[in-house]
């Protein structure tokens, strides 16, 4: 076994210490196998190799490099079994070598035993065979080499590995506009929330995190974490060559209650890497301590004064920005400070936190019926309303200042505006008390449409053809109300099957207005926004121009129509959007083959063809060719003739007007593992 030399390198990082924030010098260690090179705030995990010369050592043959934070970090409180969550942010560049195959790639790595890796093996420095539980590790791989023996999907993917180099979840990033081999600097964000048992990975070409992750996977890391774990990176070149550089690394652990880790027991392993840009989580951070206190004392005077000046300046800049931003938003959106100023006769009943906790049995985990990016939904019971759905917004989303989007305020303001319709989820109450923000909705016994449609649980018997047609007409009725009949025009922006709820009679009710935009009907010009939503449902012009309109909602509605008719997901596991799949069938005169096979012969063929053609007209690439939702509903009912569709899917050229570097906001929640319980390609577990 190759022996390793461990060195300690010093870099400047900001540390969270106890209840406050201080700055200290912390060590960064690298397991040297002839590959790592440290320069300023960057570390080159691998160096360029000569592919045509014999290797001088086993390590150079595989070009393995590893670097770890010098101290172990606490991830598990053994006394309470409380597991930490973490956030990670770093930039990286993978530069190819001329005339050589590409290297293997690199991983962000959390392991309980740094010395357990044989760095001569390749595989990005990870073991090919599964480790035992005593040497557990978790890695997020940025893989640039296709290796069928590891069940790789291609040579340009991101995956999540647990105790083996074989990924249990991965996503092809080529289709998302990401090329790991481009040589361009990219930034990655990795987040694990223990409350959701979910890992999310974002990658983009700018320093601004995209709103939607490339890869989402559900996993309970409490089963893998030891009390203390090492955090770092591992890379290898294998039979190829590439320079793989990581810099601007920021890492933060949070989720431990302060009372669980008293300051007098804080050990050396409790510290973690952090930067001023990451100090947005204001509570629940893991306690830690100073390393190298003597150096800190020398710098505390100057550092404290400088930090104070920078802090005051930053506050002034942010305050000015927020004031300007708030004025621009006031014309069409409410902020959370305005919630308490609504007219009393328009606002649903305000509930106390005690009532909410009583209804949900103290937010009992067993009562969870849905999870989303901003909230968790519980089934509850209130004496005055009976069964209800209690939407508890994440405290991470409450940290935003009023100048930033607030899902609770946006949804509350939209729902209070005028939303009283039989095909919309009805808001029955709300709570804003302490650190809790809660909305209470009517309870839908049959849950969300996607659960029944895509999980195939009694799909044929539950979703008969008559019910499917009624569901589509119900959703169209809701959208007609939002677009044309409400006092202000509301663009939903997130129409999808997991936001369509079914009552006891399988009537459809549209919900989740967290992304909704509200406009005056007379408004002729609209500012571009950063596109938000779910891959497979987004209209092409919205992706490139960022302007939400009724026709962008029509496109999403068309995807839902095709889903209901075919039983397929909006994006298949091979990455094919349902719209493209149906266009191909139309071109080959096989349209009826799109019908859901679980229906057998129980559907009306003419009605099925009509529904599919209406769906195709709604997903027309040219927004001007799409019908309104009202026109689509009349077609579905057979009141007007069907649209004349082109022989094949039209090609439309759209020039993006979004700022450079904002393209990565469009890549989106990919779940390549068909065995996961979450609905792939949708906002994870988002059912309201």
Position 280 in a domain: yes
CATH of the domain at 603: 1.10.510.10
Whether residue 104 contacts residue 270, with contact meaning beta carbons closer than 8 Å, is answered with no
Least confident of 51-60, 179-188, 420-429, 472-481: 51-60
Looking at the chain, the whole-number percentage of residues with pLDDT higher than 70 is 68
For residue range 318-348, list pLDDT tens digits in order: 555 455 444 444 443 334 344 444 444 456 7
Same domain, 286 and 297: no
Least confident of 328-342, 443-457, 601-615: 328-342
For residue range 16-43, list pLDDT tens digits in order: 222 222 233 333 444 434 444 444 467 8
Position 407 in a domain: yes
Whole-number Å distance between alpha carbons of 416 and 541 = 30
- pLDDT for 418 beyond 80: no
Same domain, 422 and 548: no
Position 684 in a domain: no
Whether residue 31 contacts residue 4, with contact meaning beta carbons closer than 8 Å, is answered with yes
In 447-549, alpha helices (H): 449-454, 459-462, 465-480, 540-545
Domain that holds residue 310: 292-329
Position 671 in a domain: no
For residue range 45-102, list pLDDT tens digits in order: 887 776 655 555 444 445 788 888 878 888 888 777 788 899 998 999 998 877 677 8
Structure-token match 């006769």, residue found: 345
Half-sphere exposure of 148 (CA within 13 A, CB side): 0
Same domain, 417 and 485: no
Same domain, 363 and 430: yes
pLDDT reported for residue 307: 57
Same domain, 225 and 298: no
Radius of gyration over every alpha carbon of the chain, rounded to an integer in angstroms: 27
Position 685 in a domain: no
Residues belonging to the active site: 494
Question: Given the DSSP bridges, would you call strands 427-433 and 349-350 parallel, antiparallel or unpaired?
Answer: parallel
Same domain, 323 and 343: no
CATH of the domain at 166: 2.60.120.200
According to the annotation, is 293 in a ligand binding site?
A: no
Task: Read off the pLDDT of each residue in 402-407 and give the average, rounded to a whole number.
Answer: 52
Same domain, 513 and 424: no
Q: Into how many domains does the chain fold?
A: 4
pLDDT reported for residue 604: 92
Task: Read off the pLDDT of each residue in 228-238 and give the average, rounded to a whole number.
Answer: 88
Same domain, 530 and 392: no
For 287, other C-beta atoms within 10 Å of its C-beta total 21
pLDDT reported for residue 264: 31
Return mean pLDDT, the chain. Answer: 74
CATH of the domain at 391: 3.30.200.20
pLDDT reported for residue 53: 57
One DSSP character per residue, 18-61 reads TTEEEEEEEEEEEEESS--EEETTEEEEE----TTS--SSHHHH
Same domain, 31 and 69: yes
Position 144 in a domain: yes
Closest alpha carbon to 7 in 30, 37, 26: 30
Position 672 in a domain: no
Same domain, 130 and 206: yes
Q: Which of 276, 311, 329 is the last residue of a domain?
A: 329
Position 683 in a domain: no
Q: Which of 442, 471, 491 is the last residue of a domain?
A: 442
- pLDDT for 359 beyond 80: yes
Same domain, 248 and 306: no
Whole-number Å distance between alpha carbons of 136 and 158 = 20
In residues, how long is the chain? 688
Q: Which of 442, 476, 511 is the last residue of a domain?
A: 442
Whether residue 426 contacts residue 420, with contact meaning beta carbons closer than 8 Å, is answered with yes
Same domain, 401 and 372: yes
- The two counts, helices (H) then strands (E), for the chain are 12, 28
Whole-number Å distance between alpha carbons of 382 and 386 = 5
Task: Read off the pLDDT of each residue in 277-287 and give the average, rounded to a whole number.
Answer: 36
């Amino acid at each position: 076994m190759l022996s390793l030399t461990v060195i300690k390198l010093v870099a400047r990082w900001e540390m969270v210490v106890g209840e406050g924030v201080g700055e200290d010098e912390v060590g960064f260690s690298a397991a040297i196998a002839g590959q790592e090179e440290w320069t300023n705030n960057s570390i080159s995990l691998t160096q360029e190799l000569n592919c045509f010369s014999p290797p001088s050592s086993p390590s150079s043959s595989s070009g393995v490099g590893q670097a770890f934070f010098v101290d172990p970090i606490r991830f598990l409180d053994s006394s309470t079994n409380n597991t930490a969550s973490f956030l990670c942010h770093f930039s990286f560049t993978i530069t190819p070598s001329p005339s050589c195959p590409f290297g293997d790639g690199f991983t962000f790595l959390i392991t309980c035993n740094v010395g357990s890796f044989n760095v001569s093996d390749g595989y990005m420095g990870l073991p090919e065979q599964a480790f035992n539980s005593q040497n557990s590790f978790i890695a997020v791989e940025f893989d640039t080499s296709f290796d069928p023996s590891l069940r790789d999907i291609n040579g340009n993917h991101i995956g999540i590995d647990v105790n083996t180099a074989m990924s249990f979840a991965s996503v092809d990033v080529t289709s998302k506009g990401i090329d790991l081999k481009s040589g361009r600097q990219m930034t990655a964000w990795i987040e694990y929330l223990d409350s959701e048992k979910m890992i999310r990975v974002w990658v983009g070409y700018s320093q601004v995190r995209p709103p939607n992750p490339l890869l989402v996977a559900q996993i309970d890391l409490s089963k893998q974490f030891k009390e203390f774990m090492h955090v770092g990176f591992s890379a290898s070149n294998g039979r190829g060559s590439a320079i793989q550089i990581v810099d601007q690394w920021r890492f933060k652990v949070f989720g431990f209650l302060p009372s669980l880790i008293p300051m007098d027991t804080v050990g050396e392993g409790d510290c973690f890497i952090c930067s001023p840009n990451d100090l947005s989580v204001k509570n629940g951070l893991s306690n830690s301590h100073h390393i190298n206190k003597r150096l800190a004392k020398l710098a505390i005077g100057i550092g404290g004064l400088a930090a104070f000046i920078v802090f005051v300046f930053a506050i002034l800049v942010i305050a000015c920005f927020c004031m300007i931003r708030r004025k621009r938003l006031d014309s069409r959106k409410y902020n959370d400070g305005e919630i308490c100023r609504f007219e009393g006769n328009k606002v649903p009943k305000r509930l106390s936190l005690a009532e909410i906790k009583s209804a949900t049995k103290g937010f009992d985990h067993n009562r969870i019926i849905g999870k989303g990016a901003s909230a968790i939904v519980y089934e509850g019971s209130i004496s005055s309303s009976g069964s209800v759905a209690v939407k508890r917004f994440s405290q991470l989303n409450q940290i935003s200042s009023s100048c930033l989007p607030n899902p609770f305020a946006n949804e509350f303001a939209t729902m209070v505006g005028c939303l009283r319709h039989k095909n919309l989820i009805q808001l029955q109450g709300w709570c804003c008390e302490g650190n809790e923000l809660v909305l209470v909705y009517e309870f839908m016994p049959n849950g969300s449409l996607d659960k029944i449609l895509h999980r195939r649980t009694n799909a044929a018997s539950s979703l008969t053809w008559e019910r499917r047609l009624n569901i589509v007409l119900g959703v169209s009725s809701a959208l007609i109300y939002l677009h044309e009949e409400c006092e202000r025009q509301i663009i939903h922006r997130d129409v999808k099957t997991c936001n369509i709820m079914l009552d006891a009679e399988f009537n459809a009710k549209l919900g989740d207005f967290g992304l909704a935009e509200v406009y005056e009907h007379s408004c002729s010009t609209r500012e571009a926004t950063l596109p938000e939503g779910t891959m497979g449902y987004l209209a092409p012009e919205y992706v490139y121009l960022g302007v939400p309109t009724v026709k962008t909602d029509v496109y999403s509605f068309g995807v839902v129509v095709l889903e209901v008719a075919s039983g397929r997901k909006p994006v298949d596991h091979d990455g094919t959007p349902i719209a493209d799949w149906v266009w191909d069938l139309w071109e080959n005169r096989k349209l009826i083959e799109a019908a859901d096979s679980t229906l057998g012969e129980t559907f009306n063929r003419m009605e099925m063809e009509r529904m599919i053609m209406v769906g195709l007209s709604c997903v027309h690439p040219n927004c001007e060719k799409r019908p309104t939702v009202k026109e689509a509903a009349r077609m579905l009912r057979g009141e007007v003739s069907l649209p004349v569709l082109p022989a094949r899917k039209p090609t439309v050229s759209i020039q993006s007007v979004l700022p450079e570097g904002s393209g990565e906001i469009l890549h989106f929640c990919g779940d390549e593992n068909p065995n996961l319980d979450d609905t792939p390609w949708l906002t994870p577990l988002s059912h309201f």
